[in-house]
Amino acid sequence: CCQGHISGVNDLSTALTLSLYFLDGYSKILPKTETDASLLSSHRLRRRQLKVEYDKDENDSQVKKEHWEPPEWTKQLGFIREMRSGRDAPVDHMGAEKCYDAEAPAHVRRFQVLVSLMLSSQTKDQVTAAAMQRLRTHGCTVEKILTTDDETLGKLIYPVGFWRNKVKYLKLTSAMLQREFGGDIPNSVEGLVQLPGVGPKMAHLAMDIAWDQVSGIGVDTHVHRITNRLGWLKKPTKNPEETRKALEEWLPRELWSEINWLLVGFGQQVCQPVNPLCSMCLNQYSCPSAHKNSPLKRPKAGSPRFPSPTSSSKIKAEPEQESAVKVEKESMPTPIPPTVQKKLKNKVKR
């Protein structure tokens, strides 16, 4: 083993000494007992069991996956929580969590949660809540929906968005629940998305509200719009389902349940689809989209001068948000309450 080191040595005594030196050094890294050998083998086994996650690029070569998260997102989230601390947005009083009969049997409550989610698509919370109140008075159970004719059911849920389609979905879903689930709703996302008129957003919210299980993030147009505006996605997304997958890659799971109602209310009051109230937002100095669609001059940090929220009525929508505006025509922005305005003004003055 040490032939290469002593090949140039003529003195036999010197060569022997060097050989013993190298052999002694090598022996120090070998296990001296069976216990040492066992420990070394165990250590090597543990090292072999470690796994590293990889993504494949376009050429199928393995690229090590790196953790990514948006800069300042924790600070921005804290500001959004502060702006939402009053819990006075429409979703807080008329969302799916508030539309079911708390005194009804558990399976009926779960069904009513699902119905309210189905009606809420492309519809303001105020309209959904009113429709659910009429349905509950009429009888909002699987059996009652199936025995109600389409015309009557349409009158009960009108004017929710696409009410004619939703009449059909309610009938088909109720029949499927009665036939395959004993009148209850599925307890998995896979089962829920098989129901007519139920998409991933509704399924994840139903799992959270009806079954108290966090299966994923419920992403609607508000969450989709706001996370793109804040730069909370590694790259811009085109639809809510892309946004959900991108958010779940980095957002801590313990925030998945909170983020929906938090951003929905924030979108209803401040970060509206048209004419967002950037000058009233605590994130206006860190949001990459702030004031981009506003002709108003951006106030300097710490400036006490704030324009009235009504002065933004002539602001045009961002070009990239035009498609989102078309989708949300039936979800008109909700004016920010005076109490929130006062709180935000005081915050910036400080």
Domain ranges of the chain: 73-86+219-280, 90-211
**Known catalytic residues?**
201
CATH number 1.20.59.20 given to 73-86+219-280: no
Phi, psi dihedrals of residue 54, rounded to the nearest 5°: -130, 150
Phi, psi dihedrals of residue 164, rounded to the nearest 5°: -65, -45
Which residue do the tokens 């060097």 mark? 18
Identify the bridge partners of residue 63 per DSSP, sorted by sequence position: 55
Helices 125-138 and 150-157: crossing angle in degrees, nearest 10, is: 140
From first to last of its 350 residues, the chain has per-residue pLDDT tens of 444 444 444 555 555 555 555 555 544 444 555 555 554 444 444 433 333 344 454 555 455 567 899 999 999 999 999 999 999 999 999 999 999 999 999 999 999 999 999 999 999 999 999 999 999 999 999 999 999 999 999 999 999 999 999 999 999 999 999 999 999 999 999 999 999 999 999 999 999 999 999 999 999 999 999 999 999 999 999 999 999 999 999 999 999 999 999 999 999 999 999 999 999 999 999 999 999 865 444 444 443 333 444 333 333 333 333 333 344 443 444 556 665 666 566 655 55
pLDDT of residue 11: 57
pTM of this prediction exceeds 0.75: no
Q: What does DSSP assign to residue 239?
A: S
Peptide bond connecting 186 to the previous residue in cis, omega within 30 degrees of 0: no
pLDDT of residue 336: 60
Judge whether 309 and 277 are in contact, CB under 8 Å.
Answer: yes
pLDDT of residue 66: 77
pLDDT of residue 184: 98
Number of C-alpha atoms within 13 angstroms, CB side, residue 271? 29
Identify the bridge partners of residue 56 per DSSP, sorted by sequence position: 62
Burial class (CB in 10 A: 0-12, 13-18, 19+), 122: middle
pLDDT of residue 141: 98
DSSP code string of 55-91: EE-TTS-EEE------TTHHHHHHHHHHHTTT--SHH
CA dist 332 to 222, 267, 336, Å?
12, 11, 13
pLDDT of residue 63: 54
CATH number 1.10.340.30 given to 90-211: yes
Q: Tell me if domain 73-86+219-280 and domain 90-211 are identical in fold.
A: no
